[in-house]
Structure 1
Amino acid sequence: MALSSATSSLEETAIKIEDSGLPETKAIGTQGLRKQILRKGNSWQTPFPGDDVEVLFSGCVEGGECLYPSRDKGTSFRFKLGQNEVIKGWDEGVATMKKGERAVFTIPPNLAYGELGSPPLIPPNSTLIFDIEMLSWTTIRDITGDGGILKKITKEGEGWATPREADQVLVKYEARLENGTVVSKSEKGVEFNVGDETDCLCPALSKAVKTMRRGEKAELAVKFSYGLRQNRNEATEIDNGVPSDSNLSIELELLSWKSVVDVTGDKKVLKKIMKAGEGFDRPNEGSLVKVIYLGKLKDGTIFERKGSNEEPFEFTTLEEQINEGLDRAIMTMKRGEQAVVTVSSEHVDSNDVSGIAKEELFYEVELIDFIKDKPFWKMETEEKIEACERKKNDGNVLFEAGKFWRASRKLQSMLSLTMLSLMMRSLLQMPYGCHVI
């Protein structure tokens, strides 16, 4: 393609841009790179350094010959962004492109081949002009920062959320050795808890899923330090004779997950959300709540059943009417939420399960509705005094009984009410015109 025809093509494109109302040429960075968008992209995302990008392009030397007409040949060009596989102007320019975008880049010599040029087509100190169309890219992420787990997304997931520590995930995977031999494969989805590296095939799975969105598929390149472990509890059979120091290639798909909340902060009471609730409000201490719940032992034996759809069970939170762990878990729930609450034996007493030694308990619970305790700012003066006195007395009784967490809650609540009352009184006594900071 001669210079005259290349220049003519760019001039025609410029006229179309002016007529279409698309952005005019703009500077990229401070070293003279310029970009003129021919067609806007169809998303908001742009590639990151290290991503495998795929483009169509044509180009020419300003005042010279046509270069590398991949667009004319109908073949795409792939390279790793930001890895010096192409000229610097390409790395900087393509990094600004969205999927489906097409743009013309004017690249100065200092971002191209500089004083030396690239004989015979590119003379020294040449400015280059490229028409580039972004087809797609695949992200390669170094999950651990040491090259131990590299992830390439092969199918984008949905939404923005990713699993967090302790969440129960459902995945499908296929693990191979570097020579292609399959060493483990999940025919159906398998579940494990994020962070429990003994509960899945290898530590790489637990670490990788924390970076994935629902429905995402990815390829993992796993070094042996994050690969097979001898202490795993994962049920899928692994071919005999596979050494634990093998590097792996894993195809991983995140099907879904259930959020798990550490209610007490020490993993002694865990809440697994089975159905999300509505709104943002949750019961507080002293709320009147309506629930349906079923208590089970580890072997599935039902030891307690409370409430029904027709007549939910009513109780007041933190008044020792139900198991303390379950009580605290319900205070983290929203209206309509359904959850499975696991209570360790340390939060179980003889009143919870009569005739049975302390053991882990499981509750299937649904929060139907609740009415919060009357807020302090709605109370009359006498009500405030009574509330403080009641909380102080309740706290002292609980402290003497060795129930320190509940005692601290009562006393903290009493102190908060007292301090707020004093602050309100001070504000009301301030003279007009005083600035409150």
Structure 2
Amino acid sequence: MLTPLRHSRRGITRQRDTRMIRMALAAMAALTLAACNRPAIDAADPWAVLHPWDHGRPGIEKLDTGVEYVVVRKGDGKTPAPSVRDRVEVKYEGRLAKEGIIFDSSYQRGETSVFQVNGVIPGWRDGLQKMQPGDMFMFWIPSAQGYGERGAGMQIPPNSDLMFQVELVRVLSDPWPKALPWPTDASDIVRLPSGLEYRSVESGPSDGASPSDTDVVVVHFEGRLEDPDYQVGDTFEEKLDSSLVVSTYAEGEPKQFLVSGLTPGWREAVKLMRPGDRWMARIPPQINYGDDSADRIPPNSTVIYEIELLAFGPPQPDSLPPAP
């Protein structure tokens, strides 16, 4: 038979346990309600919700490097994420994480930008490899994965944490492993009487027009010497570095040129292209610079170019840069 004392203690214990359970349930409900009450992220203006950055926000992904990101919008997931050797076409906006001050924005410029994945700051490099075309992410990048102690010009002070809205438009696969050395005898190489040789990497709409001598073309391009001074034992990456003479991809912005002002090989190539075409073209010296030199191109050099025709049209009053 139970004594009243023992019975009373059991009752007190049950009441205490019940109160603790109720308190835990109330706390869980409060957390759930708080999460539910968080405003939804609008892809049209994700900054309104995500700045200032909340490191404890549900849904934040964290990399070992300290980079954090939130998926704002997912693409269709059909195209793989880029590798470090790929180039990417992106829309983006960068701000100082603390102040929210914009220091760069392709949205404000009304254009996309193209970068090589291994040519950007570490935080971007690692983050881009998590994305697929169509994705929009918001990144928080600690200073060590951004511009570190040096900063960047007047706009990014030293030791600044950064935030970036990044939209991955497309991935441009690296064509150079199949272009160096140049495969002259390959079945997909087109050889013209002038000496120009090319292969198509990507094709734009087949019903598009081609530029004429009087047009201005907007192009991305990268040029490498066919016979640079390789060192014995050089890796392919080292050969790429030593052969590079020019790259708008590295600069992040395309160039505009009047077709009639181009070298004969360039002129012949772009007049055969349509917007959206991307070619690898081998241009020998007799239709390029001949006995002359140009920047990093020595006399009598054959140059292999990656050329992407973005657009063309009649000249505008603005001055044009020198042709490649």
Same topology, TM > 0.5:
no
- TM-score, length-normalised on structure 1? 0.32
Larger RCO (CA within 8 A; separation ≥ 6): 2
After TM superposition, the score normalised by the length of structure 2 is 0.42
